[in-house]
Amino acid sequence: MAGMTDQDSWVDQTKPSIARVYDYLLDGKDNYAVDREIGDVFKRDMPGSVAIAFANRAALVRAVREIATTTDVRQFLDLGSGLPTADNVHQVAQRHAPGSRVVYVDSDPIVLAHGRALLEDNDDTRVIQADVRQPEGIREHADTLELIDFSRPVAVIFSAILHHVNDDEDPAGIVGYWRDQVPSGSYFFVSHFRSGNNPQTVEAERVLQQTFGRGRWRTDKEIEGLLEGLEILEPGVVPAALWRPEAADTARIGQAERELTVWEHLISAGLARKP
């Protein structure tokens, strides 16, 4: 695996990682054979499913740019950030709003190692290893407290992470914790697997549950429920490809949702604001 030899001695290469599978689907190089084996199930047996990862990533970039260019928010907390790839949150935010501060959080030690290497010379960005299901530990982490001033608005990012939190792990409670920690004027971006009530959804959910013991497709109404107490901004919770698309994307897909592929329908995105 490119660039990962220093970690080979302490990373369990026999167990797939959600972050590394996602990296592989985005054509990244930071993954092992066991991750590629799972990724290839999607590429081989579910042709077109990789569009989920790309649609999600593009919506995240648009959301961060929107926050950086149209609001005064200059603090970003990226929960379940995954491995670094092109146009990470800090790159987008700091490009449009220099001085923006970003804390990345992921449970995978590979993310910690790569993130710290990438951000070695960036004083406004930190990466910590923590579990999104244990928000208090994230909130009180020294690196979080160093960069994030919770008396000022924060952009909280839940990009493609809450669908890996099972119902009995209280995903709404996790969002609610952060809603209560940040002041009025804070923003919440959520992207989430969207239930399509079709064979593609059933098979993709089966693969994730069988591999990781998690992976919960939810309806738009259920996703909106995760944002209780927040004002969901236009255009609402919609397929990620339709969330404030670029002009070129609008020309490609038109205004008709039916023009999306079946896979593009299976990832939703939404932006909400704390009143």
Three-state helix/strand/coil letters over 232-254: ECCCCCEEHHHCCCCHHHHHHHC
pLDDT band at 104; cut points 50, 70, 90: very high
Cα–Cα distance measured from residue 44 to residue 61, given in angstroms and rounded to the nearest whole number: 27
Q: 63: part of which helix (H) or strand (E)?
A: helix 51-70
Q: In which domain, by residue range, is 82 found? A: 5-273
Give the CATH number, domain containing residue 116: 3.40.50.150
Number of neighbours of residue 116 by Cβ within 10 angstroms: 15
Cα–Cα distance measured from residue 18 to residue 36, given in angstroms and rounded to the nearest whole number: 11
The DSSP bridge pattern shows strands 187-193 and 155-159 to be: parallel
Predicted confidence (pLDDT) per residue in 57-83, tens digit: 999 999 999 999 999 999 999 999 887
Percentage of residues in the chain with pLDDT exceeding 70? 86
Question: Which of 3-12, 18-27, 189-198 reaches the highest mean pLDDT?
Answer: 189-198
Decide if 191 contacts 267 (C-beta within 8 A): yes
pLDDT band at 17; cut points 50, 70, 90: confident
pLDDT exceeds 80 at position 188: yes
| Number of domains into which the chain is organized | 1
Decide if 206 contacts 255 (C-beta within 8 A): no
Number of neighbours of residue 275 by Cβ within 10 angstroms: 9
pLDDT exceeds 50 at position 1: no
Query: Average pLDDT for residues 107-128, to the nearest whole number?
Result: 83
Query: Average pLDDT for residues 224-248, to the nearest whole number?
Result: 93
In this prediction, residue 35 carries a pLDDT of 82
pLDDT exceeds 70 at position 211: no
Q: State which amino acid sits at residue 177.
A: Y
Cα–Cα distance measured from residue 126 to residue 111, given in angstroms and rounded to the nearest whole number: 12
Decide if 22 contacts 215 (C-beta within 8 A): no
pLDDT exceeds 90 at position 135: yes
Higher pLDDT, 60 or 196: 60
In this prediction, residue 208 carries a pLDDT of 65
